[in-house]
Amino acid sequence: MHSITALWAHPRSMSTATERIMRERGDLQCLHEPFMYYYYLSVKEKAFPLFDVDPNQPTGFPEIIAMIRNKAQTQSVFFKDMGYYVVSPIQQHPELSWEWQHLFIIRDPRKSILS
């Protein structure tokens, strides 16, 4: 299996700009917020406005992990996601703490709030 790198972010942290840099490298499979589907379709009671659901995207937590691992069979994977999407369920998967590389992006709250 190739490497899996997770960038955990908070809203307005400029994580999408970081994701864009990783996409431009050309040597990674990049996923944009794969756990968003789990959060907004399985956990959150309020719908995400204008959320277009991709019917090929898994929505269950274990299924998303399996999808990421499957993609890592052929190429290294990078994804960015919101940390609050996975706070509770990721604690039940301790193997991810050593199986994946975890990065955290934290922006100065004054700048995040203003943006």
- Per-residue pLDDT 10s for the chain (115 aa) are 899 999 999 887 778 888 898 899 999 999 999 999 899 888 876 667 777 888 899 999 999 999 999 999 999 999 999 998 998 899 999 999 999 999 998 877 676 566 6
* Token pair listed for 99: 């199986």
pLDDT, position 46: 65
pLDDT, position 112: 57
User: How is the beta sheet containing 77-82 ordered, strand by strand?
Assistant: 29-32, 77-82, 4-9, 101-104
pLDDT, position 40: 87
Q: What is the pTM of this model?
A: 0.85
pLDDT, position 71: 97
b/e 63-84 (16+ beta carbons within 10 angstroms → b): ebbebbeebbeeebbbbbbbbe
* Token pair listed for 27: 């040597």
